[in-house]
C-alpha cells in the first residue's frame, strides 16, 4: 500500500494527477513495436510507413486519454481502439495489439459493475476480435495473438484494478478508524477533565470559603485549610496530566475518601456502606468517576445535609447507589452525567437517575466483565 501512496504523490507527463500506476504506462508502450514490425519486415513503401506512423499518432492520444477516464467513460477509448485495430487489420497483422490495449482499458469498467460481470465483458471482447478476424479472413497470427493476449492482459488488468480498489478502500477505512479514534480520545479527555476539574475546583472553592471564614476565629484551622487547598491543587495538576495520558483512578476506596473530604467541607454527612466486590480495572475506574461526578453535583447543586453511598453485588451485577436529601432535579443531564452514562454503557451496564426526592443514582455493571 505504501508504494501506491508514494506514486500518487508524483506527477507524470500525459497522466492524470493521482495516477497510481507510476511509470508503468510508459513501459507498456513497448508492445507498440509489434505494430511497426510487419512494415519493417516486409520492405514497406513510404506510403505504408506514413499510414503506420499516422496510426501510431492516433493511438498515443487515445492511450493516454484512457488513463484520464473513469468507469464507463473508458468505453470510448475501448471502442476507438477497436475501430483503429479493425481499420489496420486488413493489411497489418500487428494491429491486433490495439485490441490488446483495449482489453487492458476494459478492466477499468469493472469498478462500475457487479463482481463477476467484467469477465463476461472480456469474453465478449474476445468474441468481437474473432469476428473481425473471420470477417476480414485474417491469418491465425492475427486472431490467436489478439484473443490469447487480450485474455491474458485483460485478466491481469482486472485483477490489478480490483487490488488497487481494495487498497484504496483499506486506506480509507484506516483513515476513518484513525479519525474516529482521535475523536474518541478527545471525548475521553474532555469527560475526564470535566470530572476531575469539576470535583477538584468545587473542593478548592469550599475550602477557600471555609478558610476565609476561619481567618479571624481560628487562624490555625484557616492555615490548615489553605494547606489543603495547596495540596489539592497539586493533586489536580497531576490528575490533569494523567488524564491526557490515559486517566486511571486510584480505586473506589480512595475515591470514597476524597468524596468524604469534599462532602465534609460542604457540610454534608456521608453514610457509606461498602462490600468487597470482584471488580475489573475498567469497572473500578468507571465506578470511581461515577462517585466523583455524583459527589461534585451534590456539593455544587443539591443543598443537601446527608448523602448515602453504597456499593455491593446483587443479581449478578455490581451496584453503586448514591442518594442525597437535597432539592433534587429532573432537568436534562449535563456533560458530567452524560459522560458517566456513556462510560457505564460501554461496559455493558446501565445508569438510572431519579430527582423526585433529592437525587438518587443507581449504576449497575455486569459482575466480573470488562471491555
pLDDT single digits (tens) 305-353: 999 999 998 888 999 999 999 887 766 677 778 888 888 888 889 999 8
Element (H, E) at 51: helix 46-68
* pLDDT value at residue 246: 54
Answer yes or no: are the C-beta atoms of 200 and 265 closer than 8 Å: no
Q: Indicate if the pLDDT at residue 300 is higher than 70.
A: yes
* pLDDT value at residue 2: 40
Which is nearest to 336 in space by CA: 203, 207, 226, 198? 198
Beta pairing class for 317-324 and 359-366: antiparallel
Beta pairing class for 269-274 and 306-314: parallel
At residue 361's C-alpha, the angle toward residues 358 and 362, to 5°, is 145
List, for residues 66-98, the tens digit of each pLDDT value: 888 888 888 899 999 999 988 888 778 888 889
DSSP 334: -
Which three cell numbers, joined as nine digits, stand for 316? 449478578
- Spatial separation of the C-alpha atoms in residues 307 and 323, rounded to whole Å: 6
* pLDDT value at residue 62: 92
HSE-up of 293 (CA within 13 Å, CB side)?
30
Percent of the chain whose pLDDT exceeds 70: 89
Distances (CA, A) of 341 to 154, 301, 348: 56, 19, 11
Q: How many angstroms from the chain centroid is the CA of residue 202?
A: 38
Judged on CB neighbours under 10 Å (0-12, 13-18, 19+), 243 is buried
Q: Write down all domains in the chain, each with its CATH number in brackets.
A: 2-178 (no CATH), 250-371 (3.30.565.10)
Read off the pTM.
Answer: 0.50
- Spatial separation of the C-alpha atoms in residues 156 and 71, rounded to whole Å: 17
Q: pLDDT tier at 192 (50, 70, 90 boundaries)? A: low
* Angle between helix 46-68 and 96-106 (nearest 10): 0
Amino acid at each position: 500500500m505504501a508504494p501506491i501512496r508514494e506514486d500518487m504523490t508524483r506527477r507524470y507527463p500525459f497522466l492524470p494527477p493521482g495516477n497510481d500506476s507510476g511509470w508503468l504506462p510508459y513501459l507498456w508502450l513497448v508492445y507498440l513495436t509489434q505494430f511497426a514490425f510487419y512494415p519493417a519486415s516486409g520492405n514497406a513503401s513510404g506510403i505504408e510507413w506514413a499510414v503506420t506512423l499516422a496510426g501510431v499518432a492516433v493511438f498515443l492520444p487515445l492511450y493516454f486519454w484512457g488513463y484520464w477516464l473513469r468507469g464507463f467513460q473508458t468505453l470510448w477509448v475501448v471502442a476507438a481502439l477497436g475501430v483503429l485495430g479493425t481499420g489496420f487489420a486488413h493489411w497489418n497483422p500487428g494491429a491486433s495489439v490495439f485490441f490488446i490495449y483495449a482489453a487492458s482499458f476494459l478492466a477499468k469498467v469493472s469498478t462500475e459493475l457487479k463482481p463477476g460481470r467484467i469477465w463476461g465483458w472480456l469474453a465478449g471482447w474476445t468474441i468481437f476480435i474473432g469476428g473481425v478476424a473471420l470477417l476480414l479472413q485474417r491469418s491465425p497470427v492475427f486472431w490467436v495473438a489478439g484473443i490469447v493476449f487480450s485474455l491474458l492482459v485483460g485478466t491481469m488488468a482486472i485483477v490489478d484494478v480490483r487490488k488497487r480498489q481494495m487498497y484504496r478502500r483499506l486506506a480509507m477505512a484506516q483513515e476513518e478508524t484513525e479519525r474516529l479514534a482521535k475523536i474518541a480520545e478527545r471525548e475521553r479527555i474532555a469527560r475526564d477533565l470535566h470530572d476531575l476539574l469539576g470535583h477538584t475546583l468545587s473542593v478548592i472553592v469550599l475550602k477557600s470559603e471555609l478558610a476565609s471564614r476561619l481567618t479571624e476565629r481560628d487562624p490555625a484551622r484557616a492555615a490548615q485549610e489553605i494547606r489543603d487547598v495547596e495540596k489539592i491543587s497539586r493533586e489536580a495538576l497531576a490528575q490533569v496530566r494523567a488524564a491526557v495520558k490515559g486517566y486511571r483512578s486510584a480505586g473506589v476506596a480512595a475515591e470514597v475518601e476524597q468524596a468524604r473530604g469534599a462532602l465534609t467541607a460542604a457540610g454534608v454527612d456521608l453514610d457509606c456502606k461498602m462490600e468487597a466486590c470482584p471488580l475489573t480495572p475498567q469497572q473500578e475506574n468507571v465506578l470511581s468517576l461515577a462517585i466523583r461526578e455524583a459527589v461534585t453535583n451534590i456539593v455544587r447543586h443539591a443543598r443537601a445535609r446527608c448523602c448515602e453511598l453504597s456499593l455491593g453485588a446483587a443479581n449478578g451485577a455490581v451496584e453503586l447507589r448514591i442518594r442525597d436529601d437535597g432539592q433534587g432535579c429532573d432537568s436534562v443531564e449535563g456533560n458530567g452525567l452524560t459522560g458517566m452514562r456513556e462510560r457505564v454503557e460501554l461496559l455493558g451496564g446501565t445508569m438510572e437517575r431519579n430527582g423526585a426526592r433529592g437525587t438518587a443514582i443507581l449504576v449497575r455493571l455486569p459482575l466480573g466483565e470488562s471491555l
